Structures are given as C-alpha cells and as structure tokens.
Structure 1
C-alpha cells in the first residue's frame, strides 16, 4: 500500500511538472547561463591584451617579441607607433603598450644597456599586476634563449599530473554541481510546497496511507526530474569535449548529491509551504555555497575562513568528486573514504530532515 501510494504521488508530481514546468526550466536555465558566462570569462580573460611597437627589425627584436608571446600572459596586438598603442589603451582595448625601441638589437649585440618603454593602464590592479609579473619573465626567457651562458642556472618543470586542466574545463565540471544543487532544492522544495498551496496535502494526510509514502513519493519525483535535468547539463559538457575518466564515480556522486538536495528541498518546502518562498531561498542558499565550494579551484586555495565554511557543506565534497571523476585528480585534502562518508552522512541527514519537517508540518494540521 505504501509503495503504491508513493508511486502515484510521484506520478502526479511529474504530471504537474509537465503542466507547470517552471522549476524544470529554471534548474536548466541558471546552470547553462552560468556556463555561458564562464565561457565568456575564460575566453575573454585568459590573457592580457597589450600593444607591441616594433621600432626596429633586427634579430633580437624578433627574439624579444617571441619571448613576450611565450610568457603565457599576453594577447599581443602589433601596433605601428606608441601613439597607436596609447589609442588602444584609451579605447580600453589594451592594458599596456610595450615598445621595442629602435637600436634594440644593436645594443644587445654590443652588450650595451637599453630600456623597453612600458605604458601601463593601471586602472585594474589584477591586469596591471599580470603585466608587471610577465615582463621580468619575458626578459628572463629572452636571455635564456639568446644568451644561455649568461644565466648560470636552468629550471626543470616536474608536473604533478599527466595533463593540464584548463580553467574552462574546471569551471564546466563545477556547473554540474550547481545544476544538482539548485535543481534539487527547486524540485524537492516546490514539489512539497505545492501540495500545501493547492490544499491537497490535507487529503494526503487523511488518506489511509503511511506518512512515509508521501515523503518517498516527493523524493522519487524530484529524483526523476533531477536526473533528467542533470542529463541535459551533462550533454552540454560532452559538447565541450569533457568525458568522465571514471563513469561509475560520476554517476554515483550525481545520484547521491541530487538525493541530498532534493531531500533538503522537501524539508524546506514542508516548512515554507509556499513555492514563492522556496525559489528565492534555493538561490539564496545555493549560490553562495556554490561559489565557496571550490567552483574555481581547490577550496584550500581560498582563505582559511572560506575553506572552513565550505567543509561544513556537501557541495565542496561533491565538486571534488566530480573533478576527480572527469579530470582524474583529487582537489581536496580529504581521503576518498572520508569524502564518501561525508556525502552519505549528508544523505542520511537530509532524508531525516525531510521526514521530520513533513511530520511536524502535518502534526500542526
């Protein structure tokens, strides 16, 4: 009886979601909008635009230009004069103008001192500091390539991982986490609150069915909607060229994380009893947690206070597990066993919270 009732409650919720698919559309639009903004941010902000004036055409002029290009910081625009470079700065199309002066190659060849004028737009401290850090690196690379004997040391890079993870690749995986976070809260919360708004919750309370079947039906409906939403977001990741290295882990963390937030959503919906409260609350709770949970890098790279707060919530652990499943590295100082223990502990806590919230709400009626 209880399982059959839960099935009918789930089916009714799914039917209502098709009639009024607000939560479904919102759970899709927000993560995809985030991904679109992050793509623009990653593509547009990866390198600093600078103008380079080549006053001469000597051998060392070209070598220094190559050193600038190899600094992994500059997006170079070749400009004919300092005035043209200044024009780019004034039109906010460039952060700096670097002038390789006339006679640069001759001075280097004769071991004479020379200077490279740098006009810097220091309005944005981050971009300005990128230029300040990259210029000494470019000079070092120039001398290392042209006069290797002039530098009495060399460097050797030892990579921790077999491949690099791009900023966009990291952010794109984090989108899956925010999709589960916001989608779960919306699906669970709006599904529970809707019954109170329509008055059908009283009918369910008076029906000869166990109370746990109501919670189970809501959770099952939320899981079906959430899995469909997560699958669509995952298709976007596939279009970006991302493929999980560990499929079983990817699917497992998807299901566990979705269950956690759907259960918490059911609890919030039972307490609020209003979809108009659930929706802003889902964003007010979800977005700050997402941004401090390692969406842009390991949480240990942030401030100690932010990292400590992030460790309290399951989002940081879910995102770390997603990053490992897709990219193959472990971006959190927590063992896999402890991480899964935390996620499963949160699942148990969220399930208990959904049941207690519904039970207390029903007891008042």
Structure 2
C-alpha cells in the first residue's frame, strides 16, 4: 500500500514536471509573456513616475496692480520667490480675465489702487483672487499656495519693521512619513499594485483560452494528468514571472525614483506573493471561463485593471467615495495591496495594517483559486 502510494506520488511529480517544462518552453517561444512581466512594468513606472505628479508646480498666475508702489512691488517680489508659482504681471483686469478664460493662467491676483495706502495706514487691504475652478482640486492647491505666499510676505514685512505679525494662533506643522511631500513617493508604491494586478491577470487569463484556440487542450484531456495538475502547471511559471516583475518594479522604485522603503524587504515579498496568488487566481478564473483569448483579455482588463486603478485608493481617496462604491472596494484585492505597499514603503512594518491586508488577500486568493478548481472539468463540453 505504501509502495503504491509512493509510486503514485512519483508519477504525479513527473506529470507536473512535464507540464511545467511545457509551459516554460511556451513562455520562451512566446516573448509576449516576458514583455508583460518585465517590459510593461518598466514602461508604466517611467510614465507615471516622471509624467504624473499630484504636486502643482510652476502654476501660471497673473498679477494685476492698479497703482504701482513700493509696497506693491515688495508684494509681487515675494510671490515671484515661490517655487510653486510662475507670476506674470498684466496691465489690467480685463486682460487678466481674458487670460484666465483662455487658460493661459490659472489664477489672477488683483491689487486695487488703494492697496498701498491701506497697508501703510495699518488698515485692512483686501486682495482679489480669481481662480480657475474647473479642476476643483487644483484650484484648492493654488489657493493654498497663494495664501502661503501672502502669509510669508506679511511675516517678512513685520520682521523688517521690528514687529510681530498679527497671528492669534501659531500653527506648527510636522509632516509624517513623507516629509518632502513628494507625490512620487505616494504614487509609485500604489502603481506597483496596479502593475502586479495587470501582470497576474493578463499572464494567466490567456493561458487556458490559448490551449483551446490552438487545439492542444484536447490532447491534454486524453493524458493521465488531473485538472489540478494542469492548473498548477500553469500557475507556477507565471507566479515566478510575476514575482520577477515585482522585483523589477521595486528595484526601479528604490534606485530610479528614490522612493524610501522603511519596511522589511522579506515582508514586502511575502505579502506580494500572497497578492500574486490572488491576481493569478482572478486570471485563471477568467481563463477557464472563456475559450477565446480576445474575450479573456478584455475581461481581464475590465474586471481587474480598471477596479485596481479606480477603486484601490491608488489615486482616488476611498474615504471620499459614496457609500455603495466604498463597500465595493472591499471586493478589490488591490485595495489591500495598495494599503500595504504605501504603509510599508513610507511608514514601515505596521503589523496591525499588515495583518488585516494579508488576511484579506489570503482569503481572496483561496476563494478565487477554489472557484477556479471547481469550475475546471476534464471534459470537452
């Protein structure tokens, strides 16, 4: 009995070895899988790392001064020193409003003719600010930059006069986890989650459908291999490819984009392995449900990439979403991986966060792989 069981185990290992060899040869002969695993992460990271920023810099701002004076010139000089604003002076408000409508500037700062007289008299001197509010988020950022420059000018003016600026409350701010306020430090870790979702889903969404299209699935059906061995033989090679893409993405984040990694590398790759199983499970489930590579590819993009991009917290804050959409995000594996990556890169190994995220990912991976195995049958219908 023991001898028969051992012989069966050896036969299973030999069959699995043959399936793995077949799949690796298929990967070598079809370089698209290697391109998805290694080239696509590099391209996406370069595009987002260098091309996308949540920081507004060199914002074009128009300054209109009705009556030039030393006070107005001092005010304008303070604004020109800002690294966030690019100030251009215009002759009047008519030209300023026209520039704002034409989107040549994003804001207009108007100093009325009595501005210098009111400031020198110590009275309130209103300043008119017009903002382009089409993009509400950018408008709020620009407003903050203008208010910051104004506050700095008032402080500098008070210091030159040997006075204290009238501030009943002093704000002392300290930024945790991302002291330089670089949006790249926030975007790149989140992008790794989106990339890993796309890699895992795209790599495996096509493998079973490709067997059906090429007619090789029928040949597998008449062999002694079990459906579990077929799925495992397709899972392992692409798991290794996906983890290779993960290593490439992390290396670019650390050494090309200078994103800090404050957590453990081993914890990072352990949790990434769990997430990769969930992503591969989604791809395999799509693949066993479709016999067309085109349909499988489209389904993978719609059901995995788009939710990972829009509902994971990568760019859009989950807490700002409506209730039903916020509940829907709990079904997106990338939500938990984005949370783990941003915490691990910027804050370190925060175990309560890691435990919740990895538990959710492990449950999702088990459910997806279990459903895939249940839906897979060794038959032609």
Classify the TM-score, shorter chain: 0.7 to 0.9
> Deviation of residue 346 (structure 1)?
1.6
The alignment status of 1:311 with 2:330, answered yes or no, reads yes
> Deviation of residue 201 (structure 1)?
1.6
Q: Which runs of 5+ in 1 are unaligned?
A: none
Match of 2:3 in 1: none
Match of 2:5 in 1: none
The alignment status of 1:97 with 2:108, answered yes or no, reads yes
Q: Which runs of 5+ in 2 are unaligned?
A: 1-10, 159-163
Does the Cα contact within 8 Å between 1:193 and 1:274 map onto a contact in 2? yes
CA distance in 2, matches of 1:230, 1:202: 34
> Deviation of residue 176 (structure 1)?
0.9
CA distance in 2, matches of 1:60, 1:53: 10
Match of 2:342 in 1: 323
Match of 1:40 in 2: 51
> Deviation of residue 141 (structure 1)?
4.8
Match of 1:274 in 2: 292
| C-alpha distance 232-80 of structure 1, shift in aligned 2 (>3 A) | same
Aligned residues: 360
Matches within 5 A, 1:1-365: 1-26=11-36, 28-29=39-40, 32-33=43-44, 36-37=47-48, 39-42=50-53, 45=56, 48-53=59-64, 56=68, 58=70, 61-63=73-75, 65-66=77-78, 74-79=84-89, 81-82=91-92, 85=96, 88-89=99-100, 91-100=102-111, 104-132=115-143, 135=146, 138-147=149-158, 148-161=164-177, 163=179, 165-237=181-253, 238-245=255-262, 246-290=264-308, 291-296=310-315, 299-328=318-347, 335-359=353-377, 362-365=378-381
CA distance in 2, matches of 1:195, 1:31: 29
* CA distances 1:273-318 after superposition (whole Å, capped 9, x unpaired): 2211111111101233211111026533433333211112321111
Deviates more, 1:256-265 or 1:105-114: 105-114
| C-alpha distance 159-125 of structure 1, shift in aligned 2 (>3 A) | closer
CA distance in 1, matches of 2:193, 2:134: 35
Deviates more, 1:207-216 or 1:113-122: 113-122
| C-alpha distance 35-282 of structure 1, shift in aligned 2 (>3 A) | farther
CA distance in 2, matches of 1:59, 1:50: 19
> Deviation of residue 158 (structure 1)?
4.7
| C-alpha distance 320-47 of structure 1, shift in aligned 2 (>3 A) | farther
SS at match of 1:300: helix
| C-alpha distance 156-120 of structure 1, shift in aligned 2 (>3 A) | closer
Deviates more, 1:12-21 or 1:246-255: 12-21
- With structure 2 as the length reference, what TM-score do the two structures score? 0.80
Does the Cα contact within 8 Å between 1:292 and 1:299 map onto a contact in 2? yes
| C-alpha distance 195-34 of structure 1, shift in aligned 2 (>3 A) | same
CA distance in 2, matches of 1:118, 1:325: 41
CA distance in 2, matches of 1:298, 1:123: 19
SS at match of 2:259: coil
CA distance in 2, matches of 1:233, 1:158: 30
CA distance in 2, matches of 1:133, 1:159: 16
Does the Cα contact within 8 Å between 2:48 and 2:188 map onto a contact in 1? no
> Deviation of residue 106 (structure 1)?
4.8
CA distance in 2, matches of 1:106, 1:150: 19
Aligned CA RMSD, in angstroms, stands at 3.4
> Deviation of residue 251 (structure 1)?
0.8
| C-alpha distance 38-339 of structure 1, shift in aligned 2 (>3 A) | same
> Deviation of residue 11 (structure 1)?
2.6
> Deviation of residue 223 (structure 1)?
0.9
| C-alpha distance 286-35 of structure 1, shift in aligned 2 (>3 A) | farther
